[in-house]
Chains A and B, each alone.
Chain A
Amino acid sequence: MRGIREVEWAEADASAVLLSKPRVKLQTVRDLIGEKTVKLLTFASAIIIVFIFLFIIKTAGGVLLSNGYHFVTRSGFDQQVVRAYSATAENPSWYFGVWGLLIGTLGTTLGALLLALPMGIGTAIVISELAPPGIRYLLQMVVRLLASIPSVIYGLIGLMVVVPFIQSALISSAAQIEYINRFQLSGHSMLAGMLVLSIMIVPIIIALAVDAINAVPVRYKEAALALGLSHWRTIVRVTLPAARSGILAGVILAVGRAVGEAIALSMVCGGIGNIPKVQDGFVFFLTPVLTLASAIVNKSELMSIAPIQSALFGCGLVLLITSTVLSLCARLVELVVKRGEGIV
């Protein structure tokens, strides 16, 4: 730091000799204004980040204080919202629990990940190892385009294609009658959410896996091939394990996207926070669910009521904590990768 100071002093002397006095002064003032503005705006960014976090925690505080940890273990969010909506102003209802939404979020995310992982890694292998350059370029273009399509369009296609398909192919009238007491089997389901989400997160996994596979040193592959492994076994036994932290980073990013996805899921999942039951067999996947993020979209019109606003910020806080943890995990993976290529 001191070196730079000295340079600055030297500079000031030099310009004092070279330039007439008023110009130097003007320049110094200009520098000062510029530097102060930049500093001020940086400070503003820091303040706004802190403010967002504090505001969300404070607004969610009402619900968290009155429910405690039951806020994440109790189910029946839809009925609780209705009760809070119809409660009088003197006697508001602060009774909320988001267990059903957590299950919905977890189910759609895990399902989407299970579908997207083989698709993503398979495509990444083809792009980086198997395809000729022309096809490789084409594939990368398509993947990039897929990554930038807005989520509402995925929701629209899910609603027009996936939901009717599930309804006509997988749901019989008998099943509809059997479950009518619990929920309506209409194709709006966890399965539809998984399918739509998996297509949305595939490009993320592909992009990071391609980078990771390309970063594997060529000598690894050469050594494996020299030992007599086939091309395919080299990929499976050497390249993929060497690239696994990069792939893991892609998975973390993809999970972040899947957990936070609101609009597309609120369109295809059905708006009711049922908890899918494993003993239902395949109907487990056909249960309409609600995720944390899509609950915020669906109930946002009732936000003028304080307890509901607080409950929605509670959902937001859970999402915030999840995304923070995921960001830190991504950092950790990055750190491990940086720490030594020897480990990976």
Chain B
Amino acid sequence: MAAWFFSSLTIAACLGIILYIFFKGAGQINAEFIFTSPNPTLNQDMSGGISTPIIGTILLTLIGIAIAFPWALSTAIYLSEYGGPQLIFQVFRMAIDVLAGVPTIVLAIFGLAVFSLPQFGFLSSMVQGVAGVHRAFGRSFLVAGITMAIMILPFVIRICEEAIKAVPNMYRESAMAMGASKWQSITTVILPAARNGIITGVILGMGRIIGDTAIVWLTLGGTIRMTGLQPWWQPAHWLSTLQNTGSTLTSYVYFASPAGEGNMPDKAFGAALVLVVMIIAINVFTDILGRSGQRIKGN
């Protein structure tokens, strides 16, 4: 009986939270809310919508994945195909585990401090107009994207490594027996066979980037508009947009909540609903992917 009691408590809390977001958020959602850019003002009617936060979330996710994916896949290939049981690889695997457990806020201050060094000024912008200060601003889409990539790196490495290891040894041996070199067998046989697992890793990594707030708040800054050259969407201004700050859905929710400067909770719930829908879409997609993978293995 106790088990039923506690589980119904848990489920009630879960459903309560989800339904609460849906009911509070649904009233906000309309075309105007989605497609107009936010406007930092205390007047709720003029505060605009969430178009740039949505773009920011997508942009940041793309930058993070573009950096993390080749990096993580290479590391996974090396660890599973070239690395053996030697001590150095054991230590390396353990270090990856430890990095995976580091709170994102720690990586966030790390990113902010490192990319504030003047040498990295090209990633954001230099602080100007303050006498005696020679350092970079340390907040931009590029900086946040790189920090995000570091955050999901250990996570994606682990999933890719599992996927590559799950490829039966038979495949490697057959490829070798047909005269393929080791690298050829990796690129033409093993990676295609591990494709589903690798894609799952990438998508879960994207989910983590979309949902993270700490890194966004510290390394992308608390502004809710795109602060590069305006209008930010013109191709000539793309570099400037990337080098400057903006917002994502998570930082918009934080900004618009009573804890942030915006204090317009209704809009925060609207943005939260959009965020939850994105996350659900990702979950459903990985589910479908996992099932199709099982079916292939079943055959």
Q: Which residues of B contact A296 (CB under 8 A)?
A: 105-106, 108-109
Q: A42-B75, A52-B107, A55-B113 are in contact. Are A150 and B212 (CB under 8 A)?
A: yes
Q: A38-B74, A145-B14, A145-B283 are in contact. Are A324 and B7 (CB under 8 A)?
A: no
The CA-CA distance from A18 to B181 in the complex, in Å, is 14
Contact between chains at A153 and B272 (CB < 8 Å): yes
| Set B13, B70, B112, B253: member contacting A199, Cβ < 8 A | B13
| Set B21, B213, B279: member contacting A157, Cβ < 8 A | B21
Identity of the chain A residue whose Cβ is nearest the Cβ of B222 in the assembled complex: A301
Contact between chains at B4 and A160 (CB < 8 Å): no
The CA-CA distance from A297 to B184 in the complex, in Å, is 48
Stretch in A95-103, A169-177, A219-227, A258-266 touching the partner:
A258-266
Contact between chains at A150 and B104 (CB < 8 Å): no
Say yes or no: is B280 at the interface (Cβ < 8 Å to chain A): yes
Stretch in A63-71, A74-82, A121-129, A336-344 touching the partner:
A121-129
Identity of the chain B residue whose Cβ is nearest the Cβ of A235 in the assembled complex: B3
Stretch in B42-50, B92-100, B224-232 touching the partner:
B92-100
Say yes or no: is B168 at the interface (Cβ < 8 Å to chain A): no
| Set B6, B77, B184: member contacting A119, Cβ < 8 A | B6
Interface size on B, residues (CB 8 A): 86
The CA-CA distance from A8 to B10 in the complex, in Å, is 57
What secondary structure prevails in chain A residues at the interface with B? helix
| Set B6, B98, B250: member contacting A152, Cβ < 8 A | B250
Contact between chains at B77 and A38 (CB < 8 Å): yes
Q: Which residues of A contact B92 (CB under 8 A)?
A: 46
Contact between chains at B95 and A46 (CB < 8 Å): yes
| Set B4, B21, B183, B257: member contacting A35, Cβ < 8 A | B183
The CA-CA distance from A7 to B179 in the complex, in Å, is 10
Contact between chains at B181 and A27 (CB < 8 Å): yes
Contact between chains at B253 and A153 (CB < 8 Å): yes
Identity of the chain B residue whose Cβ is nearest the Cβ of A312 in the assembled complex: B109
Contact between chains at A56 and B110 (CB < 8 Å): yes
The CA-CA distance from A42 to B96 in the complex, in Å, is 11
Q: Which residues of A contact B214 (CB under 8 A)?
A: 262-263, 293, 297
Contact between chains at B254 and A152 (CB < 8 Å): yes
Contact between chains at B218 and A34 (CB < 8 Å): no
A residues 288-333 with Cβ under 8 Å of B? 293, 296-297, 300, 303-304, 309, 312-313, 316, 319-320, 323-324, 326-328, 330-331
Stretch in A106-114, A136-144, A242-250, A277-285 touching the partner:
A136-144
Contact between chains at A142 and B96 (CB < 8 Å): no
State which size class the interface on A falls in: 35 or more
Contact between chains at B95 and A199 (CB < 8 Å): no
B residues 58-105 with Cβ under 8 Å of A? 70-72, 74-75, 77-79, 82, 84, 92, 94-105
Q: Residues of A at under 8 Å CB distance from B? A: 1, 4, 7-8, 11, 14-15, 18, 27-28, 30-31, 34-35, 37-42, 44-46, 48-50, 52, 55-56, 59, 118-123, 125-127, 130, 139, 142-146, 148-157, 159-161, 199, 202, 206, 235, 256, 259-263, 266-267, 293, 296-297, 300, 303-304, 309, 312-313, 316, 319-320, 323-324, 326-328, 330-331
In the A-B complex, list the 3 residue pairs whose CB atoms are closest, starting with the nearest.
A260-B103, A122-B6, A150-B211
Q: Residues of B at under 8 Å CB distance from A? A: 2-7, 9-11, 13-15, 17-18, 20-21, 70-72, 74-75, 77-79, 82, 84, 92, 94-110, 112-114, 116, 133, 135, 150, 153, 157, 176, 179-184, 186-187, 207, 210-214, 217-218, 250, 253-254, 257-259, 265, 268-269, 272, 275-276, 279-280, 282-283
Q: A37-B74, A309-B113 are in contact. List 17 more A-B contacts (CB 8 A).
A: A34-B183, A48-B150, A52-B99, A123-B10, A125-B3, A126-B3, A127-B7, A142-B18, A150-B250, A153-B21, A154-B17, A156-B272, A256-B101, A296-B106, A300-B217, A319-B102, A319-B103
